[in-house]
């Protein structure tokens, strides 16, 4: 029997460093939370505050999951995963950032963005045509939904228009899949207030700081969940324990790979829901380059559209830092990740050459990039409902036998694919457990 660190809520039922930490030989908890990403942490916080005994089992050596800030040799933080607090006015992480003193930038939309097509910045008339094409896509998506269709974005939209490549590329960043792989229902259901505020000090670090005081057992890979009895048996690489409830927050990428055995097997409806919400891929590729090389007039966000290649969004010297960050999504992200870091570096260099000319390239000093598909504990970027499957988010969020709950970004009805959406699903699971445990 392993020794587990048990945190239980003291009388005042608030989270604080004053919590009593008991190191006890105990293998029965009210709740085991699997995964210490935003969803698992959100669930654990509320459960502890409600006075339940909770442990979070995390397979990795670190907290945060897809919220992960790395500190580079020059001292600057680099978010390998989430970076933007989307829908800021309804995003709980804005208040948390204020409370913890994390800096962020307030922006409407994503802020000013210039598009460079075939070597020239878009003029007024091209911008107007792009804006019209984008509006027409939105209307076409609505029409599909109004007709009761949950078809793919590829089927719903004009795939012959002038701006198809750019709009398809933007979809691959928003959804982490290509247009033929995502249901229009996902685009309709997603709540977007058009306020995307980047966390200057790192969204990953923000989540990690927010986690302080939550009992997370790292390097504890869950291998089996036996939910055949009233008390669930959770087996992990650190030993077995029991609990009345389990909150599963691992990604659908992990759930789809059968690395965690469920006894008995999950019902077909849940398995179908997991299969209908696969992860796509999305990577951030950072090159080190002096900020001073760029004309101060050029905004931080630009898009490069060469004649013979995919478009790429580039963040140029963000917050004055000496770097450029290129973004890739969908199958292209998978292709580059598989081909290796030098291929990703080369395409960002190509885009820099396309927009700024070749002289700049000799100043590039090094690179760092995410590789989410290859992370065995995540296996992709974020969930996208396959065509016809957007209803599955609601199915996956249903509690099984009043004891096994699923949370995580894929289970959010309207803020999936986001960090705050994930945290809110954790809170939803906690509220349900609190209600069930009172009966």
Ligand X SMILES: Cc1cc2nc3c(=O)[nH]c(=O)nc-3n(C[C@H](O)[C@H](O)[C@H](O)COP(=O)(O)OP(=O)(O)OC[C@H]3O[C@@H](n4cnc5c(N)ncnc54)[C@H](O)[C@@H]3O)c2cc1C
Check residue 100 for interaction with ligand X (CB under 6 A). Answer: no
d(CA 371, CA 283): 6
Q: Using CB under 6 A, pick the residue from 211, 222, 247, 386 that binds ligand X.
A: 222
The SS3 of residue 27 is coil
What is the closest distance, in whole angstroms, from the C-beta atom of residue 45 to ligand X in the complex?
13
Structure-derived torsion over alpha carbons of residues 95, 101, 103, 108, reported in degrees to the nearest 10: 20
The SS3 of residue 190 is coil
Q: Using CB under 6 A, pick the residue from 284, 345, 354, 403 that binds ligand X.
A: 284
Binders in 365-394 for ligand X, by CB under 6 A: 370, 372, 377-378, 381-382
What is the closest distance, in whole angstroms, from the C-beta atom of residue 279 to ligand X in the complex?
9
Q: Using CB under 6 A, pick the residue from 30, 150, 174, 409 that binds ligand X.
A: 409
3-state secondary structure 198-242: EECCCHHHHHHHHCCCCCEECCCCEEEEECCCCCEEEEECCEEEE
What is the closest distance, in whole angstroms, from the C-beta atom of residue 3 to ligand X in the complex?
18
Q: Is 412 left (phi over 0), alpha (psi -120 to 50) or beta?
A: beta
Measured between alpha carbons, how far apart are the two ends of the chain, in Å?
A: 30
Supply the Cα-derived Rg of the chain in whole angstroms: 22
* Count of other CB atoms within 10 angstroms of residue 340: 11
Q: Using CB under 6 A, pick the residue from 55, 422, 424, 430 that binds ligand X.
A: 422
User: In terms of CB distance, is 9 or 250 closer to ligand X?
Assistant: 250
Check residue 314 for interaction with ligand X (CB under 6 A). Answer: no
Check residue 419 for interaction with ligand X (CB under 6 A). Answer: yes
Give me the residue label for tokens 């999950």: 266
Check residue 250 for interaction with ligand X (CB under 6 A). Answer: yes
The SS3 of residue 277 is coil
User: In terms of CB distance, is 145 or 396 closer to ligand X?
Assistant: 396
Check residue 172 for interaction with ligand X (CB under 6 A). Answer: no
Site string for ligand X, 69-98 (x = CB under 6 A): ------------xxxx-x------------
Q: Using CB under 6 A, pick the residue from 53, 59, 163, 384 that binds ligand X.
A: 59
Q: Using CB under 6 A, pick the residue from 9, 39, 47, 352 that binds ligand X.
A: 39
* Count of other CB atoms within 10 angstroms of residue 326: 25
User: In terms of CB distance, is 145 or 421 closer to ligand X?
Assistant: 421
3-state secondary structure 297-312: CCCCEEEEECCCCCCE
User: In terms of CB distance, is 337 or 409 closer to ligand X?
Assistant: 409
Q: Are 37 and 57 in contact (CB under 8 A)?
A: no
Q: Which stretch binds ligand X (CB under 6 A): 59-67, 109-117, 226-234, 302-310?
A: 59-67
**Contacts to ligand X by CB under 6 A:** 34-40, 57-60, 65-67, 81-84, 86, 221-222, 249-251, 254, 260, 282, 284, 370, 372, 377-378, 381-382, 408-409, 417-420, 422
């Amino acid at each position: 029997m392993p020794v587990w660190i048990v945190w239980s809520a003291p009388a005042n039922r608030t989270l604080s460093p004053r919590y009593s930490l008991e190191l006890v030989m105990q293998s029965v908890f009210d709740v085991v939370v699997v995964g210490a990403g935003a969803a698992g942490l959100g669930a654990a916080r509320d459960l502890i505050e409600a006075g339940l005994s909770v442990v979070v089992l995390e397979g990795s050596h670190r907290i945060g999951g897809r919220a992960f800030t790395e500190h580079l040799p020059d001292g600057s933080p680099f978010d390998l995963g989430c970076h933007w607090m989307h829908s800021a006015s309804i995003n709980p992480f804005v208040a948390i950032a204020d409370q913890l003193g994390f800096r962020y930038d307030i922006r409407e939309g994503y802020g000013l963005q210039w598009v460079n097509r075939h070597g020239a910045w878009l003029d007024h008339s091209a911008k107007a045509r792009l804006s019209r094409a984008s509006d027409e896509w939105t209307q076409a998506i609505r029409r599909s939904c109004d007709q009761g269709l949950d078809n793919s974005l590829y089927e719903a939209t004009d795939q012959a228009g002038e701006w198809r490549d750019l709009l398809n590329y933007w979809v691959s960043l928003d959804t982490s899949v290509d247009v033929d792989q995502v249901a229009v229902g996902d685009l309709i259901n997603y709540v977007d207030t058009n306020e995307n505020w980047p966390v200057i000090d790192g969204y990953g670090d923000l989540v990690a700081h927010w986690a302080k005081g939550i009992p997370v057992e790292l390097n504890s890979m869950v291998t089996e969940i036996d939910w055949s009895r009233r008390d669930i048996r959770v087996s992990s690489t650190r030993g077995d324990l029991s609990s009345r409830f389990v909150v599963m927050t691992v990604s659908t990428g992990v759930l789809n790979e059968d690395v965690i055995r469920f006894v008995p097997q999950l019902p077909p409806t849940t398995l179908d829901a997991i299969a209908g919400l696969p992860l796509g891929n999305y990577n951030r590729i950072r090159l080190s380059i002096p900020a001073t090389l760029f004309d101060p007039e050029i905004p931080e966000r630009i898009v490069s559209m060469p004649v013979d290649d995919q478009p790429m969004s580039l963040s140029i010297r963000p917050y004055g830092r000496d770097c450029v960050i290129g973004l890739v999504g969908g199958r292209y992200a998978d292709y580059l990740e598989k081909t290796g870091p030098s291929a990703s570096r080369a395409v960002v260099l190509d885009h820099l050459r396309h927009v700024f000319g070749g002289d700049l390239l000799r100043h590039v000093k090094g690179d760092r990039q995410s590789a989410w598909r290859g992370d065995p504990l995540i296996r992709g970027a974020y969930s996208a409902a396959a065509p016809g499957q957007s209803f599955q988010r609601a199915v996956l969020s249903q509690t099984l036998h009043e004891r096994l709950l699923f949370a995580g970004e894929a289970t959010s009805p309207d803020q999936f694919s986001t960090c705050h959406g994930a945290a809110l699903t954790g809170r939803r699971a906690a509220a349900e457990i609190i209600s069930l445990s009172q009966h």
